[in-house]
Structure 1
């Protein structure tokens, strides 16, 4: 080592003898160590170690008021990890053993020769550096392992590793969900060949065995399966698992759901244009809209009133190549037949009494775009015939005109009626029905959209609280529970109106049960998701049940207390008592309860 080279290390010398302390510091400084500090006492040593880090501590075993052993114990309790070399003028076996037990690097007897001191310091610092490097490497490996595990868990593809016996060693969360749908017994520690209940997957396990034996990769192995009743296509890649020996220790399988590859956004989005829904039923509707929207064909939307058929028509238009052209909407049930014909096809001046000028019909207004015919099940048979001809030919004659008009229009129709039943009873043309039924989208009722009520309720709350400039920030848990239990015969439209009403009535920051309409508060109607009969209230029991005995007194007291708490609101009082509202009414009549608020 050249004299001007500095060793990047920090050393602390602890000795109460000034001459020895200064000698050690001089030796180490001249040897090129970058920082050498020397202190004389137990307290100074603790202060130095607490304030700064060191690569080596050289400590005399005999200090003024403490022993070096005490100092070594204190170093370890403080978490000091650097090596400590003990110096003593009175070497004893017991002391040396104790020092080593406490983690001393070495134990040197006085007088300490310069070369011995420097050699010991060099070895101690080298070992300390090796230990630190190993700890840093272990820490980096642990961080990398956690990073890989996080990545492994978060990947949407299903990843599975198996050993040579096809025993599953590891799988990520996506694989766990996939295998639960395929074969619930398939877990870590289970065998991949349990998939052989399906002949297609038997071929997959054979491919995995070939990969393990031959070490060659199999890519894009595509299989169909039906986990939830719908067809899904999986692309499966199988790669040998190389542990560095050159012989595959197993295989890695990556399953990718190709049924979802063409979706614009990742699976599980809760909005599509103006539609909102996270339930599986609505996710299927979203997928249908995205796929059908791009295909320029007639679409029939079915579903109960209030489910959002108009919003589906809007989404189909936005997903189509016609999105920059007009979307013209016609409510077929809102006008009589003679007006509907003129409204759709237009008319020439003088075509009928009151036709004082030419009128462009909705069909022509929608040229190049989309025509939405709502409630098409309510149009007359004559109108059905005219509409059928238009759908087949894409041409029509305005009322009172003999000049044919050709248009380029996509037709989307909707109905809450059962058109198949109408065809059966002769009120709807069979040929028009099948002309409309090229492809259909069925909107599920809100009661079948698990989890969507809360999502929609909060959406409508934000809309109406903002529109009314009210600081309403949420819905109470009890009110939300009632929303989620209710069957919503009017579907999303009814939920929207209930939230709008609650926002009007709410004067605070939270919508509560007092702001809900009676049909939602009522615990006995068909409006409940769980229509099981509610049991008779658990009134306090008394033997014999005298006509005006203990039971009636206690029941009456409970009813009066609940009514007072509810401010006289019988629906709310029934909920407080945990009984059906009709049962509460009966009890009030039986006990002749009159509440004077």
Structure 2
């Protein structure tokens, strides 16, 4: 069975006391969830281990025979400046601590300090190192504009630059153990993105998806944490929760914005401590899965209004990305339309219909409130009604007519349409501007332009002829 290393880089512990190395290893594994550990009892071997192994963080004792911790700190900082160093000393001396920080140490702890502070300090250092590695990877990808694993995204049909940036970001953060927040309107494909991230992470466990919308606090806890036999009335046998089922894999929580405040507290504790209690149990279990959450809601607004916990919001947004809506990916509409028409034709055992040349223009002027999911439904409906050689546009026209607005409209259109420092156009000038814009968006197609304007095609044709002939004399 493949074991997932946590973190992705190694943590090297250097101390001449074998008993302290053992106890520190146990604490890091049990309390921190870290298993990518290396021990060094002879300080003279430390630099060779660092050169040979993928070390990203060093926990260093100061008082050792042969090479002192201070000497090693200077060598590590000079030869491997990318490696973080935490000093763990038996001496509680302020001057020594300040000098170590000045030399480049990330933090300083005393061995007799309570274990919780030490584990939290290591956790902070690990997160800093992970963020540094991810930033390096992102800079490299954006500068070269490359994807290392394009095959992972084969099921996501797109040629959009914004989506390519999303893919590059996913590759950069795939090795992290931190949560990922995926935002985007309903129907943009957030679960596909979560699935791609899980594949990129190469975690040996499964992807387990849970839609948390509508779950009350008890059902949420039971779904995630599981329960022991007799934990509550009707619990006649033990049941593993989704966290346990996703062990060594990925736990995907969809519609996280709908979670109640009480359930938010439980999720926050899980992410902070890395531990949870199955219902009816007093023994904690460690979470070994990575957590990905998704929402179509604006969590920042929800936390400002008190509907979403601020501490959970900041914990979830360690890594965050937003999937652009379909109306901002107009170049993808023809690709997706072809794909869905072909899929529908195969499913209904029909020949794939020919697309009328004006259909992509019509769809480019539709706002798609349901995004990709809506386009798929329209395509399937059209193929279901299809009888001839050329695809009927009727179902698409109905969708356009039912839309409150064929294009994005701001909350206060009057505030953005006209410059308050400029004179207003006349009604005739405004009408001409509207006609020009409609014809531009419709790519010269009068039938589509008339629909955008809410007038008949003959009325639009009359306006265009009048416009071409110029104002009448007199």
| TM-score relative to the length of structure 2 | 0.56
CA offsets per residue over residues 162-200 of structure 1, 9 Å max, x none?
xxxxxxxxxxxxxxxxxxxxxxxxxxxxxxxxxxxxxxx
For 1:34-45, what aligned pairs fall within 5 Å after superposition?
none
Pick aligned residue for 1:303 from 184, 187, 193 = 184
- Distance in 2, matches of 1:383 and 1:310, equals 22
CA offsets per residue over residues 437-470 of structure 1, 9 Å max, x none?
1110111111111301111111111211111111
CA offsets per residue over residues 471-496 of structure 1, 9 Å max, x none?
02432112222112211111111111
The Cα shift of 1:500 comes to 1.3
Residues 270 and 278 of structure 1 are in contact (CA less than 8 Å); yes or no, is this contact kept in structure 2?
no
Name structure 2 gaps, 5 residues minimum: 1-136, 411-416, 418-429, 436-445, 460-474
For 1:230-249, what aligned pairs fall within 5 Å after superposition?
none
The Cα shift of 1:515 comes to 3.7
* SS of residue in 1 equivalent to 2:306: coil
Q: Which residue pairs with 1:321 in the alignment?
A: 202
The Cα shift of 1:335 comes to 2.9
2:369 counterpart of 1:489: yes
Q: Which has the larger radius of gyration?
A: 1
Distance 1:258 1:405, change over 3 A: closer
CA offsets per residue over residues 359-383 of structure 1, 9 Å max, x none?
1110110000000010111111111
Q: Which residue pairs with 1:526 in the alignment?
A: 405
The Cα shift of 1:281 comes to 1.0
For 1:45-444, what aligned pairs fall within 5 Å after superposition?
259-260=143-144, 263-264=147-148, 272-322=153-203, 324-444=204-324
CA offsets per residue over residues 403-454 of structure 1, 9 Å max, x none?
2112311000111111111111111111111111111011111111130111
- Distance in 2, matches of 1:534 and 1:495, equals 31
- Distance in 1, matches of 2:246 and 2:138, equals 37
* SS of residue in 2 equivalent to 1:414: strand
The Cα shift of 1:519 comes to 2.3
- Distance in 2, matches of 1:402 and 1:271, equals 41
- Distance in 2, matches of 1:314 and 1:407, equals 19
Greater length-normalized contact order (CA 8 Å, ≥ 6 residues apart): 2
- Distance in 1, matches of 2:211 and 2:449, equals 47
- Distance in 2, matches of 1:470 and 1:453, equals 22
Residues 282 and 444 of structure 1 are in contact (CA less than 8 Å); yes or no, is this contact kept in structure 2?
yes
Aligned CA-pair RMSD: 3.4
The Cα shift of 1:529 comes to 5.8
The Cα shift of 1:398 comes to 0.8
The Cα shift of 1:577 comes to 9.6
Residues 184 and 296 of structure 2 are in contact (CA less than 8 Å); yes or no, is this contact kept in structure 1?
yes
CA offsets per residue over residues 76-126 of structure 1, 9 Å max, x none?
xxxxxxxxxxxxxxxxxxxxxxxxxxxxxxxxxxxxxxxxxxxxxxxxxxx
The Cα shift of 1:580 comes to 6.1
CA offsets per residue over residues 291-343 of structure 1, 9 Å max, x none?
22233321110111111111110000011121x42100000104333212211
- Distance in 2, matches of 1:270 and 1:448, equals 24
Higher share of residues assigned strand: 1
- Distance in 2, matches of 1:530 and 1:463, equals 33
CA offsets per residue over residues 344-372 of structure 1, 9 Å max, x none?
11112222223222111101100000000
- Distance in 2, matches of 1:334 and 1:509, equals 45
CA offsets per residue over residues 53-80 of structure 1, 9 Å max, x none?
xxxxxxxxxxxxxxxxxxxxxxxxxxxx
Distance 1:535 1:336, change over 3 A: farther
| TM-score relative to the length of structure 1 | 0.45
Q: Which residue pairs with 1:19 in the alignment?
A: none
Higher share of residues assigned helix: 2
